[in-house]
A and B are shown apart, each in its own frame.
Chain A
């Protein structure tokens, strides 16, 4: 294996620009004549907009224009859309209220967009925004998912009575009820999956620009999927037809889902650029990110597990209320349904599953996909139930898992998914060895002598990635197909450009995609460049999320490379004056079977372009091929994470002392990058479990709107991680890849809470398990102990 081949820990090609400060993020770009946008945002969670007086603000220095919802309406600019239709139990379509880019008549959460001020400088725009006088008629607000459907709760949208967007279900209710009736033991848990703020370190930003000469618009924006952004802006919002709108997502500083969506701000920037005839730039400050980026999670769930006398799981049922926030964000409706309840079988053979999900509006920021999207919520439900059930029936949690693991593939779950492959025992066994589970009892006793409560928790997770077969998701309500495109352009001297619809915002595509090309064509990765993130360069693509860029994006490249190889063989046959059937291609060389005749890839590429050696009427000149790859199934990465934690009895501070992750991602292109994805995912999952809480007051003020109040994981909150792998190659795509981007965030919260509940001896530990929360539990326990004496 050469050092750049598939499977090698190749150092990243993109790093040079980032470590030298030469990255080009949206906010680093400035356009001639550029103006600055500042959004006047609602300070109220719920209010009618009686009057907006702009007269004083418009006269302020530097102001170019001020627009409100009236201007949007007058220009017939549409609202933001939600691209996944969910039907309620009774078959009725979800009840979605309008989502205007600037508020029309009503504001529905703190941060909602009331007006945009466009000025020569940002300071001038801010000053003018302060001079806008808004007459609000403040209404009562509802912020908690569990309270949204209550009688008399404030109504967020008239379209959705009882604030209910849909009440959906999946699975066989009667069969599941029967399983519970027959159960030997039933485990019940009430679970709150805390709301999170994604917090990519680069705040969202946009620059809209209008070319009057060609009547064309350009939008630079922090997007994970610029083509989808262009499609939505064109076809649904009506900004401009697609061929008159170019969307560029340059270097993007992290996304984690939050930059999939099409937001009000970039839409306003590109609309306003034409209206005021100047480029319009907007960059969120961190507080705006907290207020207005799509949040994640926020589920309230009652979950139950039925177990028979042999310790076999016979049924699972759950009722979840999912907080959608004040508006339905781009893919919000799919997250608590098809990305959540379809994973409730976990790694286990569970014959009966039934799940009901109510999605509710509240006066909070919209909630949508955040790293893992629905799958962390499902894993948390399943893994908390399984761990608790094992403890309740007095079985070792690992042995209980083993008894219930799926071992035969393909496996059809009762909730849509067909798992194609996996070896769950292998990852559990390897993780237990790496974590030295055998020695845990001794470590626990040693910790107790130091006044620490030590616990160990498992999370044997599964996820559905490689999103997704277009027909399958179409039948479930998706408004788009989820294939990916690739184009391979071979230049006359044999260097290669790959145009991909995937988008890299930290994942290292410039390296891994080049490794694939390098290993297939036998050329150096330095001779391969990856082009992405520009709708004028790449024809179309679905972007990067759901751990799909390896399984789907690279499969498209692989398919296009097949075509390149096939055509290059034809050219080589002419160059080598041999029959095409006698040509072999290996390590960058075309050879003629049984001879020593050979020609390298670069020479063949040159011959393809000069077209001297073949009849162009029979074989077209040039060497460029494309592919649209649509996956045949989801992929199912799975694995086992083990968290060992110590809680200080005096302070309630929890410290992770050991983290072991063994993941099965199928084939791996670059283990260094894959491990990095695992590390980052675990950190976000640990953040959810121990640190990150999003707090709204009862009247809808976001209390945790800065890094002073929202606890981001820092270096000293985390340990180093032990990461191992097992491999069952994925049979559902040509490269055998399953995807690795979300695993850590999916696995980690349950592992942490299972470790904490083990340490504390109670199943009732909330997320985030802050020192205060843990200290309160310990204090209550010691009070009870004293009272009992």
Chain B
């Protein structure tokens, strides 16, 4: 069995995996990082999106061995020092999730969109989210969340604090 070494959420991990093991399987089954989800078997839904060396990838379509030596960030690694990432805040603030199943992939994709494109308009967000399917929200509030998250990421404007 090949040995794979990854940096996952800043921690170095080494594991022996079957060569057919997908990155998502290694994350979920070997490392017990179950925030990354599997929603399909044709690389369509995006529930499995993580960042590999800073780029969004579908971990259901990536072999673990392909990522040897790479740095992987999953939804569990997005918050820093107990502080939520602005995009996480934005999803909560704008009700960008219902059942939460698509959410980790949505947030990871959204962060990637802003990393690549900065502040984006609604049409661009909708086009860019083409690889992420949500069955619950109708995307309306996901779009609002990504707009707000982008602003917060780019300009540091905090996402409005939750009204509670």
**At the interface with chain A, which of B33-41, B51-59, B61-69?**
B33-41
- Which residues from chain B contact A708 at a C-beta distance below 8 Å? 42, 44
> Would A11 and B92 count as touching, CB distance under 8 A?
yes
In chain A, positions 157-186 with a C-beta closer than 8 Å to chain B are: none
**CB-based nearest A residue for B107:** A19
> Would A285 and B41 count as touching, CB distance under 8 A?
yes
> Would B163 and A22 count as touching, CB distance under 8 A?
no
1/0 contact string of A639-675 vs chain B (CB within 8 Å): 0000000000000000000000000000000001101
> Would A202 and B98 count as touching, CB distance under 8 A?
no
> Would B35 and A706 count as touching, CB distance under 8 A?
no
Pick the most buried of B74, B78, B138: most chain A CB atoms within 10 A of its CB.
B138
**At the interface with chain B, which of A239-247, A472-480, A481-489, A712-720?**
A712-720
- Which residues from chain B contact A20 at a C-beta distance below 8 Å? 35, 75-76, 78-79, 84, 88
> Of B40, B102, B127, which is within 8 A of A716 by CB?
B127
CA distance in complex: A19, B162 (Å): 15
> Would A19 and B137 count as touching, CB distance under 8 A?
no
Residue A21 interfacial (CB < 8 Å): yes
- Which residues from chain B contact A251 at a C-beta distance below 8 Å? 99-100
In chain B, positions 129-164 with a C-beta closer than 8 Å to chain A are: 129-130, 132-143, 162-164
CA distance in complex: A28, B38 (Å): 11
Residue A4 interfacial (CB < 8 Å): yes
Residue A8 interfacial (CB < 8 Å): yes
- Which residues from chain B contact A367 at a C-beta distance below 8 Å? none
CA distance in complex: A625, B103 (Å): 36
CA distance in complex: A394, B78 (Å): 60
Residue A541 interfacial (CB < 8 Å): no
- Which residues from chain B contact A681 at a C-beta distance below 8 Å? 138
Residue A676 interfacial (CB < 8 Å): yes
CA distance in complex: A714, B38 (Å): 17
> Of A11, A17, A684, A706, which is within 8 A of B42 by CB?
A706
> Would B42 and A707 count as touching, CB distance under 8 A?
yes
CA distance in complex: A718, B141 (Å): 12
> Would B36 and A21 count as touching, CB distance under 8 A?
yes
Pick the most buried of A3, A23, A24, A708: most chain B CB atoms within 10 A of its CB.
A23
> Would A254 and B98 count as touching, CB distance under 8 A?
yes
- Whether A706 contacts B136 in the complex (CB less than 8 A), given A19-B88, A679-B141, comes out as no
Residue A553 interfacial (CB < 8 Å): no
> Of A286, A675, A706, A718, which is within 8 A of B139 by CB?
A718
Q: Would you give the shortest CB distance from A508 to chain B, in whole angstroms?
A: 7
- Which residues from chain A contact B103 at a C-beta distance below 8 Å? 18-19
- Which residues from chain A contact B88 at a C-beta distance below 8 Å? 19-20
**CB-based nearest B residue for A200:** B135
- Whether A507 contacts B42 in the complex (CB less than 8 A), given A8-B163, A202-B37, A715-B129, comes out as no
Residue A51 interfacial (CB < 8 Å): no
> Would B141 and A676 count as touching, CB distance under 8 A?
yes
Q: Would you give the shortest CB distance from A712 to chain B, in whole angstroms?
A: 5
> Would A21 and B35 count as touching, CB distance under 8 A?
yes
**CB-based nearest A residue for B162:** A11
Residues of A in contact (CB 8 Å), total 62
> Would B164 and A254 count as touching, CB distance under 8 A?
no
> Would A679 and B130 count as touching, CB distance under 8 A?
no
1/0 contact string of A1-25 vs chain B (CB within 8 Å): 0011000111110111111111111
**CB-based nearest B residue for A687:** B135
CA distance in complex: A285, B133 (Å): 16
**Chain B residues touching A, range:** 35 or more
- Which residues from chain B contact A505 at a C-beta distance below 8 Å? 99
CA distance in complex: A3, B28 (Å): 38
CA distance in complex: A511, B38 (Å): 27
Q: Would you give the shortest CB distance from B83 to chain A, in whole angstroms?
A: 11
- Which residues from chain A contact B42 at a C-beta distance below 8 Å? 286, 706-708
Residue B72 interfacial (CB < 8 Å): no
Residue A546 interfacial (CB < 8 Å): no
Q: Would you give the shortest CB distance from B140 to chain A, in whole angstroms?
A: 4
> Of A25, A28, A714, which is within 8 A of B130 by CB?
A714
- Whether A679 contacts B34 in the complex (CB less than 8 A), given A11-B162, A708-B44, comes out as no
In chain A, positions 488-533 with a C-beta closer than 8 Å to chain B are: 505-508, 525
Q: Would you give the shortest CB distance from B137 to chain A, in whole angstroms?
A: 5
> Would B99 and A200 count as touching, CB distance under 8 A?
yes
Residue A97 interfacial (CB < 8 Å): no
**CB-based nearest A residue for B134:** A201
- Which residues from chain B contact A706 at a C-beta distance below 8 Å? 40-42, 44
Residue A257 interfacial (CB < 8 Å): no
- Which residues from chain A contact B78 at a C-beta distance below 8 Å? 20
> Would A683 and B101 count as touching, CB distance under 8 A?
no
- Which residues from chain B contact A749 at a C-beta distance below 8 Å? none
> Of B40, B98, B99, B100, which is within 8 A of A707 by CB?
B40
CA distance in complex: A714, B109 (Å): 14
- Which residues from chain A contact B38 at a C-beta distance below 8 Å? 27, 203
Residue B117 interfacial (CB < 8 Å): no
**CB-based nearest B residue for A681:** B138
Q: Would you give the shortest CB distance from B72 to chain A, in whole angstroms?
A: 13
- Which residues from chain B contact A506 at a C-beta distance below 8 Å? 98-100, 136
> Would B95 and A201 count as touching, CB distance under 8 A?
no
Residue A253 interfacial (CB < 8 Å): yes
**CB-based nearest B residue for A682:** B138
> Would B98 and A720 count as touching, CB distance under 8 A?
no
> Would A19 and B130 count as touching, CB distance under 8 A?
no
- Whether A203 contacts B39 in the complex (CB less than 8 A), given A10-B163, A254-B135, A708-B44, comes out as yes
Residue B23 interfacial (CB < 8 Å): no
9 residue pairs from A and B, CB less than 8 Å apart: A16-B92, A17-B100, A201-B101, A203-B38, A254-B98, A676-B98, A708-B42, A714-B139, A716-B127
User: Which are the 9 A-B pairs with shortest beta-carbon distances?
Assistant: A21-B35, A253-B101, A18-B100, A683-B138, A506-B99, A707-B44, A679-B138, A21-B75, A506-B98
Chain B residues in contact with chain A, CB under 8 A? 18, 20, 28, 33-42, 44-45, 47, 74-76, 78-79, 84, 88, 91-93, 95, 97-104, 107, 122-123, 125-127, 129-130, 132-143, 162-164
Given A20-B75, A20-B84, 18 other A-B residues pairs in contact with their CB atoms under 8 A: A11-B162, A25-B37, A27-B34, A27-B38, A28-B28, A123-B18, A203-B39, A253-B100, A254-B99, A254-B101, A286-B41, A506-B99, A683-B139, A706-B42, A706-B44, A713-B138, A720-B122, A720-B143
